[in-house]
Amino acid sequence: MAIQCDLAVLGGGIAGYTAAIRAAQAGKKVVIIEKEKLGGTCLHKGCIPSKALLRSAEVYSTLLKAGTFGIKVADGAVSLDFDGVQQRKEQTVEQLYKGLQHLMRKNGITIVSGAGRVIGPSIFSPRSGSVAVELPDGEMETVVPSNLIIATGSRPRTLPDLPADGTTIMTSDDALRMERLPASILIVGGGVIGVEWASMLIDFGVQVTLAEAASRLLPGEDAEASAELTKQLRRRGVRILTGIQLKLDTYSFNEGQASIEADTADGKVILNAEKLLVSIGRQANVEGIGLENTDVRVEKGVIKVNGFFQTTEPHIYAIGDVNGGLQLAHAAAHEGLVAVDHLLGGRQQAPDHSRIPRAIYSRPEIASIGLTEDEARKRGHEVKVGKIPFQAIGKALVLGETEGFAKVIADSKTNDIIGVHMIGPHATDLLSEASLAMLLDAAPWEAGQVIHPHPTLSEALGEAMLAVDGKSIAF
């Protein structure tokens, strides 16, 4: 017998399970089909495990400079137990995994474990959208929903001429499973994943080279934030090469060392490292899920959707990385809520994707929302900018983390906030206030009226809002 339901979700990552919970809250019968573990990439291979490692690296780095806080650590008393680091990471993931399983039971959501493929019209349904599931024991199950949400996520993109072997040439998935730290590593790609791993590994004591083909790190972020992060990473010992082109056909591995040639503006260089980490983005999981049995359109490797994440088959939606939008966990979760609200008939206005915050968990952290200053000018905005360095903020001095700044970009004609960019301590935790201000269409002077407790890091954003009109008190 086929499983009949109101909504089937193909993929149990953060996009899929968020959508499932929202539909279940509305009284719908919901089935999630997941071939690996509930929680997907974010919980098991991305956000959570990588941030757990970053936290351990931060603590280790802090202990090594404890003397700057007046705390004496005897020689040799601080050491790194990487097995313990990995155990803590796994414990964190497992605790969240158990909590997620509880949420599924609490909301009455059925989990079908297996590889799902969308099928066309059949004896079960006159239209495509049912899902045939191959169970772990080889048996088949069919799920027949009124609506289908595809949330199959993405996987690390690889270089065709430099395929990952999981040990010497790694993706971020492989790196999370390292049993020991290498003496040196070459990170290919200076985007979000690359800079987070560079920041983490340099704190763990690994010799890091970071190579980026573009003219600067984080080419999608504000140029000033990129420059500040580059300065701080170099100060900590990361070798950063930008505008670099690797000659993949020169790769070799001998006596425990990988070697590859590269062209730079200053000529040819030879890069050597014990391991290579390829972090050149992610690609959508659109293969092998039966899309050829539907009229769902795939363009440039991603599923085409409208503003409500509806595909070219109205009863089928696609959310998260698989639709080619912002590859961020919170963006994927929000898309799940929007899609379910729409298919239930409750949402009539498409969300504004420019108001999705972005977070990078390097040290220092980077957090942003809206347009960069360069983007704003290219779009014809007459901008006014407020900028406050963290060194002007008392709490940053107390923490011993004064690098970076908070920056607010506004349109000088409309006085709308069109971009906020921060680099500094706990920047990712501070950004939500800017996100709320943009949601409520607050002007900088209005956001600047918020009373921030003192001393806190949040004062940086409040002062930056006031600085847009030259009224900052702190700087």
Helices (DSSP H) in 211-326: which residue ranges?
Answer: 223-235
Q: How many residues does the chain have?
A: 475
Return the amino acid letter for 139.
Answer: E
**Which CATH architecture does the domain made up of 364-467 adopt?**
2-Layer Sandwich (3.30)
Structure tokens at 371: 């347009």
Closest listed residue to residue 49, CA positions, set 97, 111, 17: 97
250 SS3 class: strand
Q: What is the DSSP letter of 416?
A: -
Closest listed residue to residue 236, CA positions, set 69, 67, 403, 55: 403
Q: What is the pLDDT of residue 343?
A: 94
Cβ neighbours for 99, distance < 8 A, ≥ 6 positions apart: none
Q: What is the pLDDT of residue 144?
A: 97
278 SS3 class: strand
Query: Model's pTM, two decimal places?
Result: 0.95
Ranges of each domain in the chain: 3-155+283-353, 158-280, 364-467
Q: What is the pLDDT of residue 351?
A: 81
Structure tokens at 431: 């950004």
**Which CATH architecture does the domain made up of 158-280 adopt?**
3-Layer(bba) Sandwich (3.50)
The crossing angle, in degrees rounded to 10, of helices 47-64 and 192-203 is 40
Closest listed residue to residue 409, CA positions, set 441, 374, 378, 440: 374
> How far is the C-alpha of 410 from the C-alpha of 224, rounded, in Å?
16
Q: What is the pLDDT of residue 444?
A: 98
CA 84 centroid distance within chain: 25
> How far is the C-alpha of 208 from the C-alpha of 336, rounded, in Å?
37
Q: Which fold has domain 3-155+283-353?
A: FAD/NAD(P)-binding domain (3.50.50)
Residue 214: φ, ψ to 5°: -70, 175
User: Mean pLDDT, 10 residues at a time, over the chain (475 residues)?
Assistant: 95 98 98 97 96 97 93 84 97 98 98 96 87 95 97 95 92 96 97 98 98 96 98 98 95 93 92 97 97 96 96 97 95 96 85 91 98 96 98 97 97 97 98 96 96 97 98 92
Asked about 454 being catalytic, the answer comes back as yes
Helices (DSSP H) in 296-355: which residue ranges?
Answer: 329-343
Burial of 248 from C-beta contacts in 10 A (0-12 / 13-18 / 19+): middle
Structure tokens at 455: 């001393």
Task: Give per-residue pLDDT as tens, 233-248.
Answer: 999 999 999 999 999 9
Cβ atoms < 10 Å from Cβ of 356: 17
Q: What is the pLDDT of residue 124?
A: 81
- How many Cα atoms sit within 13 Å of 464 on the Cβ side? 28
> How far is the C-alpha of 171 from the C-alpha of 415, rounded, in Å?
44
Answer whether 3-155+283-353 and 158-280 agree in fold: yes
Q: What is the pLDDT of residue 76?
A: 64
Give the Å distances, CA to CA, from 298 to 31, 157, 291.
24, 18, 8
Cβ neighbours for 334, distance < 8 A, ≥ 6 positions apart: 351, 356
Task: Give per-residue pLDDT as tens, 362-398.
Answer: 999 999 999 999 999 999 999 999 999 999 999 999 9
Q: What is the pLDDT of residue 352?
A: 85
